[in-house]
Structure formats: C-alpha cells, structure tokens
A and B are shown apart, each in its own frame.
Chain A
C-alpha cells in the first residue's frame, strides 16, 4: 500500500461525516438548515477523516476476522485458579484446554489448535504488558498457550511473543531466559545501553515500522523529543509494525480483562494500539473509531485467528494502567475467534463489576461505540442478542 496524501478523505467518509454532524435529521429536514447559529455551534464535533476505505479494498480470505466461529464466545470459570494470590498453572492449563475443545468441537488439544495454526506458521502471541508487573498478561496463560502449541506440533522457534514496547516485555518478565527458544520482540526498542537510538542517531523503532501499511487519520501527531521514541513518528500516518506485516503469519491475541474509563481495553484495543506507531494523536477524537478501524487492515484482519482473554486477574477501574485498589480476580478466561463478540462479553463483565462496586448505575451508551464501528466494518458481532456465549465452570 502506498502512502496517502495527508489531506485526502474519501468520498464515503465525507458523506458519513455529514450524517454524524447533524444526525439523519440534518439531511432530511429543511427546517434544520435555517436553525440559529448557536444551534449549529452546539452540534457534535466532526470526526476527523481516515483512510479506512483503503483497508476495505483488500479482499478477505479464510482467516479474516471474525474467523471460524463468528459470534461464539467461550467463558471458562475456575474458582481455584488463584490460591493465596498465586495463579495456578495447572488450573490455567485446564481452563485453556476446556476453552479450546469446546470452541472447536474437537476431542484433542492438537486437533483443536490445528484448526487455527500449522507447523509452517510463524505465530505471534500478542500480550499486554503496558500496566507493568501488577497487571500484565499472566505468564501462566502464555506458558499454557505455548505448551499447547508445542503439543500441536508447532516448534518453539516459530513462536514470537510481541508487543509494541520491547522494554515493557522485558520489565514484566518476558525474557529469553524465561522463554528459551522463543523470539521476544517489540516495535519500540532500546539497546543494551538504554538508548532508543542507534549509532547513526536513528530510532530503532523506525526500522521496525512498515511504511507500506499505514492508518492515516486527519489528526496531526506532534511530539517532543522525549516522547518521539514511544511514538516512532509524528504526522498523520500511523505505520504498522513489521512484526505484523512481515514477521508473523498468524496472531493469537492475549489481552487482559481491563477497563478503559467506562469502556474496556481488550481484544480490539490490544491489537490496534499494539500494532501501529503514532498512537498518541488518536486518543482524543478517534479512540473508538481507530480501535476498530486499525483492525480492519489486512495485517491484523487476516492474521488474528484466536483471542484468549486473560481474566484471571483484571481490573474494573483505573485501567488501562494498574491501580491496585481496582485490581480484582475475575477467575476466568474468554476465548473466541470473533474479537468483537469476545469484547462485547468482556464489556458485560467489566460493566457489571463497575455496577456492583457502585462506580456506575448502568453501562454508558458510549462504552460500546467501538464495537458498533467494528461491526459496521464486518469484523465481528457486537450485539449481545446475537452472541452465542457458552459458559464452562471448573472447580
């Protein structure tokens, strides 16, 4: 994909903006056109244009989201998965096995996993270490996934643990000594001396982004010199990491069950904001849209074959950072090929917890806006009524 003009919204997007600016009534009613100026000033702000149309031009394939089981979500609960605040590896192994067998309808772990991956694949495990040691994707889940991939004939050399920031992976224990034979990498990198820059003064992260794949949005990213290493580039393009575009052939998404304000940061957010550069500019005006739209680009849409949410320990407020008073034991895993459906179920769980804790009375309408956008883009099913949730209780 070539780089796009910095100022080129598509025709369809412009039409969409017109609709959202005034709602359907703006288009249909001539009375609104002569409304006072004050009323026009109070219209919702126009959303910045993006290049989502470019993503939709690429034909789908058999791996494309929502994958093999649209709308199906497995929720595996285990009351004994954490004892004395220590996650129990054996329990997590059982939970993962139950999720995989019930999701696929297969009788063996190997057959279940081979529906999604083969020994020829390079498999990226997208973890989430951004909140630090307190609230990272648990090593117990990652090790359970690796063990079952190996049981399914996938060599360790074909497994890559990745996230946006390599240093956060290291800080949270994703180190070669803990995962021998497995590649551990991130887009933003530091060298042994702690520098983001190579001997030529170039960011290591620059070498990790693929300028052939870009999420363009009409929002300028402008960063100071301290921030740039964490963003890799400024401007209006967010480039996809080469980890997604070149290094791996399949992605298994391993987010944590966390809130983001009254919403969540789960499957789609873990993928979208983990796979591109220059994200800082997107939070204010395009959070919901970008979380969905980035996942509609082929490097994610056509490679993410499975989502397994680590809900052993999670949080219900203070996310995506880790605020200890809001960290809780959900004692569960969610699994499915449909990231949108899994996110919907995750939002139900987090919202209910927030209601139980009297943080809010009901789920806000805004909390699921990114799910609606993802559904519009054909990435999955975000409507509770159309989701087939299967619950398994282990003890």
Chain B
C-alpha cells in the first residue's frame, strides 16, 4: 500500500513537472491566427543538441530547460525560444549579455530589447528570444504581440533583487546593467575584464554602465569566492592600496576607486 502511494505521488509529481515544463509556451488558442509548426524541449545537458558549444554559456548561468517553437503568426514566421534558468539572476545574466544596441528597450513595462530581427525578454526565471525571418515592421509588431502574450503566460515568480548599490537608481535595466558569474559570461559580456578574473571561479559581478552629462561612469560590485581571489583580482587589475581601499596607478588611463564593502565583496567605481 505504501509503495502504491509513493507511485501515485511520483506520478502526480511527474505530471505536474511536465505541465510546468510545457505550460509556459504559446498554444494556438492564445492569439488569433497563431500556428505552432514545430516544438522541441531540451533539458539537462541535452542543450548541447540544440546549440552545441554555445550551450556552455547557459550551463554557466544555471540552465534548467528550453522550449523551442517554430511559429506562424500574421503571415510571418518566428522562432521562439524559452530558456528557463534555475534562478532569476541567471535568467537576467543571460539576458544582460545577449542584448546589445537595442532599437527599443524596456517598453510597456517589460524588460526587453527589440531589434530588427529579434526581440529578447527577461521575466522571472526566463530569458526569451523571438526571432523573425523578415525584419519587416509587420514582423516586429507581431513579435511584440507574441512577447506580451508570453509575459502574461509566465508564472508569477520572485523579481530580480538588485544589489542595494544599484537598486534604487537603475530605472532601465537593459543595456545598463550586466550580471556575470563565470569566465564565459565575461568573454561574452565584458571581454576586456577577462584578464582581471583569470583563474577565478564562483564570483558574482554586477556591472553598471551609465553615460551622463558627457561622461562615462561604470560601477562594479564583485563578490569573490575567497579573500585570496579578491587579492588576485586587485593584482590583475593593477590596483594599489589607498586609504581604506584601493585605486588605480597614476599612469593608468582609467581611474578606479575601490572600496571594500563586505568580507569578500568590493565596489569599484571607474571614470
């Protein structure tokens, strides 16, 4: 009897799990004229099967699963990819390094980035990419409709918790803030900083870039795995002690001011 109950519970759990896996996606009844032409699911390391070596970046950010749909809508064709990540931070991290030079960003209450052929969206644990085939204004408008519908379908999950140093002043996330937690994220999102983190693992890097009154201003909040890793970073970035923190050497083009704000956490401001 006990085994039977366990079996029922496992069955219910597996049905519930598969519903969760497939519930956050488009179906034909959700928008007039929408057709789902093909659908695939990748989870675990099977992402290798979809994007081969490109998958390692997603694994670094904590990949959970991906649903890919080939969709026809308003006489246009779309590829919709729903990456579900294990954490909200992981989803934002992937979004933050995949978005670039957005034509339009953070529109209609969404955290999104729209370009001619692609609309990218971050929400909860999801990073979503909608690629259209023609780049026309019709396709772009239809992408936006799909994105809005998708956002409604996504489960209510915890929002992105920003570090307090960035939390109140960051109105627009897209194009301004990046979250990086490994070597591949650095290579893709902040390649000039790769050498500072050489050999380091298990770090968290929040990087904000603003441009106001004709001046570049960058802030980096970095939590290291150990104080030893922090020392390596300071050495790699050629920073020298100054007061309670560190600064760049006088002959450096960039002016860094670095403060220690936790046992293994620093805040760097770069002008």
A residues sitting closer than 8 Å to B (CB atoms) are 38, 41-42, 44-45, 85, 130-131, 134, 223-224, 226-227, 229-231, 260-263, 265, 273, 279-280, 283-284, 317-321, 323-327, 354, 357, 359-362, 364-366
A230→B48 contact, CB < 8 A: yes
Rounded to whole angstroms, the CA-CA distance of A321 and B195 in the bound complex is 24
A42 touches B199 (CB 8 A): yes
Indicate if the CB atoms of A365 and B195 lie closer than 8 Å: yes
Name the one of B53, B98, B118, B192 contacting A265, with C-beta atoms under 8 angstroms: B53
A362 to B232 CA separation, bound complex (whole angstroms): 22
Structural contact, A320 and B53, CB atoms closer than 8 A: yes
Given A42-B228, A229-B49, A359 and B191 touching (CB < 8 A)?
yes
A-B contact pairs, 5 of them (CB 8 A): A130-B51, A131-B51, A227-B44, A265-B53, A320-B51
Q: Pick the most buried of A38, A325, A326, A361: most chain B CB atoms within 10 A of its CB.
A: A325
* B131 proximity list for chain A (CB < 8 A): 134, 324
| Chain A residues within 8 Å of B117, by CB | 324-325, 327
Q: Which residues of B contact A364 (CB under 8 A)?
A: 187, 191-192, 194-195
B46 to chain A, nearest CB (A): 4
Query: B54–A224 contact, CB under 8 A?
Result: no
By a CB distance below 8 angstroms, the chain A residues around B188 are: 261, 317-318
Inter-subunit contact A130/B52 (CB<8 Å)? yes
**Partner among A38, A320, A359 whose Cβ is within 8 Å of the Cβ of B54:** A320
Chain B residue at minimal CB-CB distance from A326: B100
Identity of the chain A residue whose Cβ is nearest the Cβ of B199 in the assembled complex:
A44
Whole-angstrom distance between the alpha carbons of A280 and B53 in the complex?
A: 7
With contacts A42-B228, A354-B191, A360-B191 known, is A325 near B52, CB below 8 A? Answer: no
- Tell me the chain B residues, 114-151 only, with Cβ under 8 Å from chain A: 115-118, 129, 131, 135
**Given contacts A283-B56, A321-B51, is CB(A362)–CB(B45) below 8 Å?**
no
Residue of B45, B56, B192 touching A227 (CB-CB under 8 A): B45
- Chain B residues near A321 (CB-CB < 8 A): 51, 54
In the complex, which residues 159-205 of chain B have their Cβ closer than 8 Å to any Cβ of chain A? 184, 187-188, 191-192, 194-195, 198-199
6 closest cross-chain pairs (CB), A and B: A261-B187, A324-B117, A226-B46, A321-B54, A230-B49, A324-B118
Distance, CA A224 to CA B98, complexed state (A): 27
Minimum CB distance partner of A221 in chain B: B45
Report the minimum CB–CB distance from A256 to chain B (whole Å). 13
Query: Which chain B residues lie closer than 8 Å to A279 at the CB level?
Result: 52-53
Report whether B45 and A224 are in contact in the complex, using a CB–CB cutoff of 8 Å: yes
**B192 touches which one: A41, A357, A362 (CB < 8 A)?**
A362
Contacts A262-B194, A324-B115 given: A224-B46 contact, CB under 8 Å? yes
The answer for the CA separation of A366 and B228 in the assembled complex, in Å, is 23
Chain B residues with Cβ under 8 A from A317's Cβ?
Answer: 100, 188
Expressed in whole angstroms, the Cα–Cα distance for A227 and B48 within the complex equals 7
The docked-state distance in angstroms from the alpha carbon of A288 to that of B49 is 21
In the complex, residue of chain B having the shortest beta-carbon distance to the beta carbon of A260: B53
Partner of B98, one of A44, A131, A227, A323: A323
A44: which B residues are within 8 A, CB to CB? Answer: 198-199
**When chains A and B are docked, how far (Å) is the Cα of A326 from the Cα of B115?**
10
For residue B103, give the distance in angstroms from its CB to the closest CB of chain A. 9
Interface 1/0s, chain B 219-230, versus A by CB < 8 A?
000000000100
> From B99, which residue of chain A is reached at the shortest CB distance?
A325
> Nearest-CB distance from B71 to chain A (Å)?
15
Q: Is the CB of B115 within 8 A of A325?
A: yes
B39 an interface residue at 8 Å Cβ cutoff?
Answer: no
Q: Are B228 and A41 in contact (CB under 8 A)?
A: yes
Of chain A, the residue at the smallest CB distance from B103 is A325
Most A CB contacts (10 A, CB to CB) among B135, B184, B187 go to B187
Is B43 part of the binding interface, using a Cβ–Cβ cutoff of 8 Å?
yes
CA distance A82 to B201 in the complex (A): 43
Residues of A within 8 A of B51 (CB): 130-131, 320-321
**Chain A residues with CB below 8 A from B192, complex form:** 360-362, 364
Contacts of B42 in A (CB 8 A): 226
Instruction: Specify the chain A residue showing the minimal Cβ separation from B188.
Output: A261
Q: How far is the CB of B189 from chain A (nearest CB, A)?
A: 9
B44:A226 contact, CB within 8 angstroms: yes
B194 touches A366 (CB 8 A): yes
> A223's contact among B45, B116, B135, B195, by CB below 8 Å, is which?
B45
Query: Are B44 and A325 within 8 A (Cβ)?
Result: no
List 6 additional contacts besides A42-B228, A230-B48, A359-B191; criterion CB under 8 Å. A44-B198, A318-B188, A320-B51, A320-B53, A320-B54, A323-B98
B101 at the interface (CB under 8 A from A): yes
B residues in contact with A224, CB < 8 Å? 44-46
